[in-house]
Amino acid sequence: MNIVVLLKQTFDTEAKIVISGGKVDPTGVTLVINPYDEFAIEEALTLKEAQGEGSEITVVTAGGDVAEQALRTALAMGCDKSILVSDEALDGADEWAAAEAVAAALKDVEYDIIFAGRIAVDDASGQVAVRVAEALGIPSVSSILKFETDGTVATVTREIDGGNEIIEVPLPAMLTAQKGLNEPRLPNMMGIMKAKSKPLEKKDLAAVGKAAGDVAAKFVIDSVSLPTPREAGTILKGEAAETAPELVRLLHEEAKVI
């Protein structure tokens, strides 16, 4: 079985975000595999192990040279080969442009199933995977919590309001991973040693059959801002019985929660 995983390199979720010159400043920030994409990798590895010999996982990303790190980590976890779509024309790419570039790179890759993360934790747009599915003309199911396949059909479970729904989807299909799908493994030392000899193919836009004009972003980000800092809480001083009426008043009139 040929399995593809789409991956995005994001900031470490513990990173302190600094905005400079209207952009998020990447200086000194640790970069990691988007946590939701780790679920996708784990599901691909589990499927590969269940399928046995002959299955192969290709992990694909778009980004700068630094994204090679994320691909090497995925290879160390057990993926077999990787593709990095990297081109200056993709700087500032929006979701549509990124999806076009990735879909173009997949034209030369055989796949029976594609896994990706539900969203990336940085911009949380949740668009790229489904846009890639659209570009490839394959069905997609988002935010899956359980996955099974007989090789031709995938049976997946996703959470809906008040319960779960079970969907059968013919392969090839795009499935995006929700938290809870699995517990991603860490790469072990042997995996790390093997990673450096696994293929990492770097392709610019021309190599995937696109020109810069084909992937011009369709929207422009006007400004970026940090969330408003949380204000300090109010402490009511005095005995509980004395302060309770004031607490009720504040909850009712100011916080408006009761």
Partner 1 sequence: MDFGFTEEQRMVQEMAKSFAEKEIAPYVEQDEENHYYRREILSKMGEMGLLGWSMPEEYGGNGMGWMEAVTALYEIAKVHTSWRLSISGNCWGPAMTILEYGTDEQKKKFIPPLLSGEAVGSFAMTEANSGSDVGSMKMFAEDKGSHYVLNGSKMWISGGHTSDIGLVYVCTEEGGGPKGLSCFIIDYNNTEGIERIPINKKVGMWSAPTSELVFENAQVPKENLLGPVNKGFPICMWMLNNTRMGCATGAAALSAAALEGSVAYANERTQFGQPIGKFQLVQAQIAEMKLEDDAALQLVYRAAWLKQNKMPSQQQTSMAKLYSCKAAVNAANIAMKVYGSYGYSDEYPCGRWLRDAKQFETLEGTSNIHTTIVAGIELGYQPNR
Number of residues counted as binding partner 1 (CB under 8 A): 14
Sheet containing 153-160: give its strands across. 163-170, 153-160, 140-149, 173-177, 113-117, 2-6, 56-62, 81-85, 200-203
CB of residue 63 to partner 1, shortest distance in Å: 16
Site string for partner 1, 192-211 (x = CB under 8 A): xx-xx---------------
Of the two residues 139 and 187, which places its CB atom closer to partner 1 in the complex?
187
Choose which of 17, 66, 186, 236 interacts with partner 1 (CB under 8 A).
Answer: 186
**Segment near partner 1 (CB under 8 A), from 57-65, 68-76, 98-106, 174-182?**
68-76
How far apart, in Å, are the Cα atoms of 227 and each of 18, 40, 224, 230?
11, 29, 10, 9
Contact 26, 15 (CB under 8 A): no
CA distance 55 to 45: 10
Contacts with partner 1, 101-140, as mask; x by CB under 8 A? ----------------------------------------
Looking at the Cβ atoms of 126 and 187, the one nearer to partner 1 is: 187
CA dihedral of 58, 144, 168, 163, whole degrees rounded to 10: 180
Site of interaction with partner 1 (CB under 8 A): 32, 69, 72-73, 76, 186-190, 192-193, 195-196
